[in-house]
Amino acid sequence: MKNFNFYVSNIFISFIPKIKYQKKLLYWLKEAEKYPKEEIEERIKYYISKETGTLGNDAVSIKNFVKPKKLSTYFFDLVQYTNYFKNSLKINFKFGDVQENQEFLTIVKSRPINHTGNSVLMSLNTLRHFRFIKDVIPFSQKENKIVWRGVIHKENRSSLVAKFHNHPKCNIGQIKHEKGKPEWERPFLSIAEQLRYKFILSIEGNDVATNLKWIMSSNSLCFMPTPKFETWYMEGKLVPNFHYVHIKDDYSDMLEKMEYYEIHQDEAALIIRNAQKWTTIFKDKKLEKILSLKILESYFIATNQ
C-alpha cells in the first residue's frame, strides 16, 4: 500500500503546473527562519560542501528533466523539488547506488564518506531507504540473539554468513544463494520478525545498508562496522558506541559485544535512545522540504547559474 500511495501521489503531482510551485519558492525558503540557523547551515554544508563547482556536458535543464525508464523513485524524489526552480537551470545527477566520487558537482543518493566534495547529497529513493518504524517490544523482552538477512554480493557479507550461519547465538543467513552457498540460505524475515531480537546487524551492500534507518528507530541495538558510505541520513556523523555498537570489519568481536550488552542493558538502552534521537531529526517533513530546496538553491549558486 505504501508503494501504491507513493506512485499515485507523484503521478498526481506531475499534473500540477510548475508555475504554481515556482510562486511558492520564496515562501518555503523563508520558512527556514523558523528553525535554528546553525542547524540549517550545518546540514546544508554537510550535504553540499563546495561553494563553487562546474557543470559537466551531461547536465540537464529542469525543463528536460523527465522520468527515466528505470529508477523512477529517484526521479520522483528529486522532481518534487526541482519543480520550484526555473526551467532554464541545469543539474548533474546520478541515480542508483553511487560508490565513487564525481568529476562535476552532481546530485546523488550516496557517496563515499571520504569524498572530494563534488557529490551533493539529496534524499533519494526514500521509498526504500527512509523507512522508520514503531517498535512496541522493549529491549529487555527481546531474544538474546543477533539477526541479519540479506543478499550476498560482496565479500563483507559472505564472510559474515560463512562464520555465523550455524552459530546458536545468531540468526544469520542469506535470502538467495547465487553467490553464496545453499547451506547459508535462511527463510525471509520481515522487519517485524527481526524486531524480536535484541541485536540487529547493519551491513553495507552496494553502498549504505538499507536497514540502518529502521534499526535505529527501533528498540533493538544496531551492530555495525564503521560505514564507508553515506546518504541524507548523514551516516558519516554517527558516533561509534554512542549511536550504534561498533564491531570490527571481520566481525571478530561481535559475540563479545553481544555478551557485554546482554549484561549491561542500561548502556544498551542509552545507545538505543541516542539512535532514536538521531532518527527523529529526519521525521520533520517540513524541515526536510526546506533543506532540500536550500540544497538545490546552493547547487545553482555554486554552479554560477
pLDDT in tens, 82-103: 999 999 999 999 999 999 999 9
In the structure, what pLDDT confidence band is assigned to residue 134 with cuts at 50, 70 and 90?
Answer: very high
Cell numbers describing residue 128: 526504500
pLDDT tops 80 at residue 71: no
pLDDT at 127: 81
Least confident residue range of 5-14, 52-61, 64-73, 117-126: 5-14
What percent of the chain is predicted at pLDDT more than 70?
Answer: 94
In the structure, what pLDDT confidence band is assigned to residue 111 with cuts at 50, 70 and 90?
Answer: very high
pLDDT tops 60 at residue 60: yes
pLDDT at 153: 83
pLDDT at 18: 79
pLDDT at 16: 66
The enclosing H or E element of 2 equals helix 2-13
- Mean pLDDT, all residues of the chain: 92
Superfamily of domain 139-282: Glycogen Phosphorylase B; (3.40.50.2000)
Which residues are bridge partners to 61 per DSSP? Answer: 90
pLDDT at 110: 96
pLDDT at 85: 96
| pTM for the model | 0.91
pLDDT tops 60 at residue 2: no
pLDDT tops 70 at residue 4: no
Higher pLDDT, 72 or 229: 229
In the structure, what pLDDT confidence band is assigned to residue 15 with cuts at 50, 70 and 90?
Answer: low
In the structure, what pLDDT confidence band is assigned to residue 62 with cuts at 50, 70 and 90?
Answer: very high
In the structure, what pLDDT confidence band is assigned to residue 147 with cuts at 50, 70 and 90?
Answer: very high
CA–CA distance, 1 with 294 (Å, rounded to integer): 31
**Can you give the residue ranges of every domain in the chain?**
2-128+284-302, 139-282
CB-CB contact of 229 with 235 (8 Å): yes
pLDDT tops 80 at residue 33: yes
pLDDT tops 80 at residue 8: no
In the structure, what pLDDT confidence band is assigned to residue 72 with cuts at 50, 70 and 90?
Answer: confident
Burial level of 141, CB count in 10 A (0-12/13-18/19+)?
Answer: exposed
Per-residue pLDDT of 154-209, as tens digits, reads: 899 999 999 999 999 999 999 976 677 888 999 999 999 999 999 999 999 989 99
CB-CB contact of 269 with 141 (8 Å): no
**Max Cα distance, the chain (Å):** 60
Per-residue pLDDT of 220-245, as tens digits, reads: 999 999 999 999 999 999 999 999 99
Output the DSSP codes for 233-261: T-GGGPPBTTTBEE--TT-TTHHHHHHHH
pLDDT at 182: 87
pLDDT tops 90 at residue 273: yes
